[in-house]
Amino acid sequence: MAWDKLRQLYMEVITDHARAPHHYGELAGLTPKTLHNPTCGDVIHLFVKVVDDHVAEIAFQGQGCNISTASASMMTDVVVGKRIREVKELAAAFSQLLQGQTHEGQKALGDAQILAGVAQFPQRIKCASLAWQALSQILANEKGEENV
């Protein structure tokens, strides 16, 4: 019984983020990083403005499933205002979360922790990680790195 209520709450949070995504739109003057998930057709266009080693602004557009859209919305909430180092740590924590691994740093993921259940559905991992991959690529290019 308790599991059903918890599952319902998780689904409501995911649905809320998917129906009314936070930071949805574009940032004028910035070229988005576009990633496509060929498995299901999800597409994200991610805009990130970095100022003084912080994610000053972030926005996304695109079309995708509820998991993809909700994950992007949750990600934008958690990384805006954070230092690049912190964002990289959050991205690593999220990646581990999707692999079914747990550690203390995942608490900082906020609502995105709800997506831990995606680890049970390997075909959905790409959906949940698409926005995070785009963010990692943007930050790698920002610092001239190969991979974040």
**Interatomic CA distance for residues 137 and 47, integer angstroms:** 12
pTM of the model: 0.90
Whether 135 maps to a domain, the answer reads yes
| DSSP conformational letter for 51 | E
Instruction: Write the pLDDT tens digit of every residue in 108-130.
Output: 999 999 899 888 888 889 999 99
Whether 148 maps to a domain, the answer reads no
Whether 120 maps to a domain, the answer reads yes
Give how many domains the chain has, as a whole number: 1
Mean pLDDT throughout 123-139? 94
Residues in the chain: 148
Instruction: Write the pLDDT tens digit of every residue in 74-101.
Output: 999 999 999 999 999 999 999 999 999 9
- Measured at the CA of 86, the angle between CA 83 and CA 17, to 5 degrees, comes to 95
Higher-confidence residue: 117 or 131?
A: 131
- Measured at the CA of 143, the angle between CA 137 and CA 144, to 5 degrees, comes to 80
Is a pLDDT exceeding 70 seen at residue 1?
A: no
Name the token pair of 23.
């930071």
Whether 139 maps to a domain, the answer reads yes
63 strand-pairing partners = 43
| DSSP conformational letter for 21 | -
Whether 89 maps to a domain, the answer reads yes
| Residue 16 structural domain | 2-143
Query: What's the pLDDT score for residue 5?
Result: 65
Is a pLDDT exceeding 50 seen at residue 51?
A: yes
**How does strand 54-63 pair with strand 43-51?**
antiparallel
Burial state string for 67-85 with b = 16 or more CB within 10 A and e = fewer than 16: bbbbbbbbbbbbbbebebe
- The CATH number covering residue 70 comes to 3.90.1010.10
Whether 112 maps to a domain, the answer reads yes
Grade residue 2 by pLDDT with cuts at 50, 70 and 90.
low
33 strand-pairing partners = 46
